[in-house]
A = this chain, B = another copy of it.
Amino acid sequence: MTGTQALLAAVGAGVRTYDLGRRLTIGMPQSPNHPPFWHALPRRHGDNVRADGGSAANDIITMGTHVGTHIDAFAHVSQDGRLVDGSDAAVAGRGGRFAELGAHTIAPMVRRGVLLDVPAALGQPDGCPPGYEITPQDLSAAAQRQGTPIRPGDVVLIRSGWGRLFDHEDRTRYVGHASGVPGVGAAGATWLADAGAHAVGADTIAFECLRPGAGHSVLPAHRVLLVERGVYIIETMALEELAADAVHEFLFVLSPLAIFGATGSPVRPLAVIANG
């Protein structure tokens, strides 16, 4: 039996796939800095029926790439005019696309994934409070409690519990401008990078700790991860189901759209575990 056959056998024996992406719907919460998601059907069934009785419907979508569940390409953020590779960020985007560090350069991920359930580690069943900064100690405590140390190359998903607000009828709640939003700061980001994370994710729009009313005025974790350390960031993830099932270790799969030159891509990441 080849290695691939062993892999297929493992999958064939039964796996469960957790969907870590949010549904894309008109009006879902998103940052006002980005073009909103919109969808329409230019053609519906019955509009144009072929002689044989067949008919097709189709779509138009318009959106930013940092809406819904998405991954940030390294081109997304610069510091002091430089991207992660030291290149001049303004020059890199000339022509309206980032040829070197755009979304098309994000390699698909098939890696070990670890969920760090921070509220569980902190004993906060309702999730981290608004504006709470998740510390390296919190991350470490979560990893230890779960028995899932981070290994180099892992994808590390940080649950703050904020994801429960995604479907709140007041869509400004999840965005959290007034209340603030829990997340890591520079220290937590550094801890994640030091642990060797290939990519990190969270159940919030901005990944970061946002202070009440501060909005996106400073985004230190983005600086650390995207510019200084070369770690991808995945945002607006759905992590509640993993947490409810206490799934802390899994095969993480993410395949961004290869949008040439873009600063990010909408994605639907997966966590795969073996049954039984």
Q: Which residues of A contact B (CB under 8 A)?
A: 2-8, 10-15, 17, 19, 21-27, 32-36, 38-48, 50-66, 68, 75-81, 83, 89-90, 92-98, 104, 107-108, 110-112, 217-220, 222-223, 249-251, 253-264, 266-270, 272-276
Which residue of A25, A33, A39, A250 has the most chain B CB atoms within 10 A of its CB atom? A39
Which residue of A32, A40, A79, A223 has the most chain B CB atoms within 10 A of its CB atom? A40
In the complex, chain B residues whose CB is within 8 Å of the CB of A6: 10, 274
The answer to whether B222 touches A54, judged by C-beta atoms less than 8 angstroms apart, is yes
Q: Sorted from nearest, which 10 A-B pairs have the closest CB atoms? A: A3-B274, A45-B89, A40-B42, A40-B40, A62-B62, A59-B65, A53-B80, A35-B60, A25-B260, A255-B268
In the complex, chain B residues whose CB is within 8 Å of the CB of A107: 17
In the complex, chain B residues whose CB is within 8 Å of the CB of A3: 10, 13-14, 273-276
Give A37's nearest chain B residue, CB to CB.
B259
The answer to whether A39 touches B8, judged by C-beta atoms less than 8 angstroms apart, is no
Given A38-B42, A45-B89; 17 other pairs, CB 8 A cutoff: A3-B273, A3-B274, A4-B273, A8-B249, A11-B112, A19-B108, A40-B60, A42-B64, A45-B92, A46-B94, A54-B219, A55-B78, A57-B75, A58-B66, A59-B263, A60-B64, A255-B269
Known contacts A17-B110, A47-B94, A59-B65; A36/B36 CB under 8 A: yes
The answer to whether B89 touches A55, judged by C-beta atoms less than 8 angstroms apart, is yes
Task: Tell me how many chains of this kind the complex includes.
Answer: 4
Among B10, B19, B219, B262, contact of A7 (Cβ-Cβ < 8 Å): B10
The answer to whether A266 touches B262, judged by C-beta atoms less than 8 angstroms apart, is no
The answer to whether A39 touches B276, judged by C-beta atoms less than 8 angstroms apart, is no
Known contacts A22-B258, A40-B96; A34/B8 CB under 8 A: no
In the complex, chain B residues whose CB is within 8 Å of the CB of A22: 258
The answer to whether B50 touches A218, judged by C-beta atoms less than 8 angstroms apart, is yes
The answer to whether A23 touches B268, judged by C-beta atoms less than 8 angstroms apart, is no
The answer to whether A111 touches B11, judged by C-beta atoms less than 8 angstroms apart, is yes
Among B21, B53, B57, B262, contact of A39 (Cβ-Cβ < 8 Å): B262
Which residue of A22, A92, A259 has the most chain B CB atoms within 10 A of its CB atom? A259
The answer to whether B59 touches A251, judged by C-beta atoms less than 8 angstroms apart, is no
Interchain nearest-CB distance for A219 vs B (Å): 6
The answer to whether A57 touches B93, judged by C-beta atoms less than 8 angstroms apart, is yes
The answer to whether B38 touches A35, judged by C-beta atoms less than 8 angstroms apart, is yes
Interchain nearest-CB distance for A89 vs B (Å): 4
